[in-house]
Amino acid sequence: MTDTTIFVGLDVHKETIAVAMAPASPGAAFSYYGAIANTTEALRKLCKKLSAGGETLEFCYEAGPCGYVVQRRLSRWGYRCDVVAPNLIPRKASDRIKNDRRDAITLAKNLRSDQLTAVWVPDEAHEAMRELIRLRSLAMRDQRRSRQQLLSFLLRHGLSYPGTHWSKAHRGWLSDLSFPQPAQHLVLEELLQRIERAESLCARLADAIADLLPSWTLAPVVEALQALRGVSMLNAATLVAEIGSFNRFDNPRQLMGYLGLVPSEHSSGRTVRRGPITKTGNSLARTSLIEAAWTYRFPARVSRIIHKRSAHLPEPIRVIAWKAQIRLTRRYRHLIAAGKAACKTVTAIARELVGFVWAIARMVEPKTA
């Protein structure tokens, strides 16, 4: 940083960008530039005007629904631009006034004093994979909701299947149902078609993820994580897409905190109070880990599926995956025997599983990812 550096805070919206400046010179006052249109040309004119005297520009704005478009534009033009975590911006507890001008000035001021925490910005290929993952998550949610609505409809009419739901036999049973009222039969058919459309979308998205995976720079991490029990291709792709670069976490405890799997705490003096997990950070990655952790309630064994997924992987990765099975299955039995609830036990297993995920990912992740 030099005295000619200008720190620029951007409050980015769909149509406008509020701009504030903080010169690096000691004692220089903050200034509000105004609002510009959220377009490439308007942003280029802003950069040209602010750097007309040879000043160096550094930008920042909050992560939000507008994504990383502004950051990528400024980076291509040679400027530094940080996308900062909104929850980690220092704010006064007594501050009850919020508007675009104040937000932009706050960003510029905190950028100059180096009090902002930048988030990891994925490249466009990584973002494309993450969009597929998140759309599939929405499709799975719609599928579960549609199935539940059908089961609730049947239950209201005293119909309940005694076996396993959504098996081949169950689907045959559904196709043979009939109702005395034509409107009721129409509801049944529409619900069945809605479920079929949701299932078809989930299958198409899963195929799209599998097709995109070989060209992804983080594909080796996805393959390596599949050596772990409960981590299928889709589960591994979800973890890697949502977490991003594992190299930014110096130890697994940081990753556990990022995923919200550490206990909350409200302690004072000699009193220590710990509560449920914080559930901060990425909920989709946390859900994937919880789902994987349920498989460790069974005895440790290398099943045919796991052997097929990990046969081509290096020996050190398979060793870590086997250590994970030994430790986590024993840990599950110990916690259950101690009287812990199954849901709390699985959460604890998921938290420890993060350590093995971090260890394997750090072994194979490209350094440029």
Reported as a single tens digit per residue, the pLDDT across 109-135 is 999 989 999 999 999 999 999 999 999
Mean predicted confidence (pLDDT) in 247-263: 93
The residue ranges of every structural domain in the chain are: 5-112, 124-215, 219-364
Share of the chain above pLDDT 90, in %: 86
Mean predicted confidence (pLDDT) in 349-363: 96
Model pTM score: 0.89
Q: Kind and range of the H or E element at 186? A: helix 182-212
CB-based contacts of 176, cutoff 8 Å, min separation 6: none
Reported as a single tens digit per residue, the pLDDT across 180-195 is 999 999 999 999 999 9
CB-based contacts of 307, cutoff 8 Å, min separation 6: none
Does position 25 have pLDDT exceeding 80, yes or no?
no
State the pLDDT at residue 26. Answer: 67
Under the banding of pLDDT at 50, 70 and 90, the label for residue 11 is very high
Look at residues 228, 356, 230 and name the one whose alpha carbon lies nearest to residue 297.
Answer: 230
CB-based contacts of 39, cutoff 8 Å, min separation 6: none
Does position 177 have pLDDT exceeding 80, yes or no?
yes
Tokens of 362: 């750090």
Reported as a single tens digit per residue, the pLDDT across 195-213 is 999 999 999 999 999 999 9
Look at residues 140, 89, 324 and name the one whose alpha carbon lies nearest to residue 224.
Answer: 324
CB-based contacts of 24, cutoff 8 Å, min separation 6: 1, 2, 3, 4, 5, 6, 7, 112
State the pLDDT at residue 265. Answer: 85
**Looking at 76-130, which runs of residues are DSSP E strands?**
80-84
Rounded Cα–Cα distance for residues 284 and 258 (Å): 12
State the pLDDT at residue 1. Answer: 56
Look at residues 85, 88, 89 and name the one whose alpha carbon lies nearest to residue 119.
Answer: 85
Reported as a single tens digit per residue, the pLDDT across 60-97 is 999 999 999 999 999 999 999 999 999 889 988 888 88
C-alpha pair distances (Å), 239 with each of 147, 198, 257, 283, 288:
26, 23, 15, 11, 7
* DSSP strand pairing (5-12 vs 16-23): antiparallel
Share of the chain above pLDDT 70, in %: 98
Q: Kind and range of the H or E element at 193? A: helix 182-212
Cα of 102 vs its chain's centroid, Å: 29
Does position 245 have pLDDT exceeding 60, yes or no?
yes
Backbone angles phi, psi at 312, to 5 degrees: -90, 0
Under the banding of pLDDT at 50, 70 and 90, the label for residue 55 is confident
C-alpha angle with apex 238: 355 to 310, nearest 5 degrees? Answer: 65
Tokens of 59: 């930008």
State the pLDDT at residue 168. Answer: 94
Does position 369 have pLDDT exceeding 70, yes or no?
no
State the pLDDT at residue 96. Answer: 85
Does position 368 have pLDDT exceeding 70, yes or no?
no
Look at residues 38, 43, 45 and name the one whose alpha carbon lies nearest to residue 59.
Answer: 43
Mean predicted confidence (pLDDT) in 13-35: 89
How many other C-beta atoms are found inside a 10 Å radius of the C-beta of residue 252? 19
Does position 257 have pLDDT exceeding 60, yes or no?
yes
State the pLDDT at residue 232. Answer: 95
Q: How many helices (H) and strands (E) does the chain have?
A: 13, 7
- SS3 (DSSP) at 157: coil
Look at residues 124, 113, 13 and name the one whose alpha carbon lies nearest to residue 62.
Answer: 13
Reported as a single tens digit per residue, the pLDDT across 140-174 is 999 999 999 999 999 999 999 999 999 999 999 99
Instruction: For domain 5-112, give its CATH number from 3.30.70.260, 3.40.640.10, 3.30.420.140, 3.40.190.10.
Output: 3.30.420.140
Mean predicted confidence (pLDDT) in 331-339: 97
Rounded Cα–Cα distance for residues 346 and 289 (Å): 10
One-letter identity of residue 320 = I
DSSP letter assigned to residue 313:
S
CB-based contacts of 60, cutoff 8 Å, min separation 6: 7, 8, 9, 10, 81, 82, 83, 84, 107, 108, 111, 116, 118
Task: Say if residues 322 and 302 touch (Cβ distance below 8 Å).
Answer: yes
Rounded Cα–Cα distance for residues 138 and 201 (Å): 10
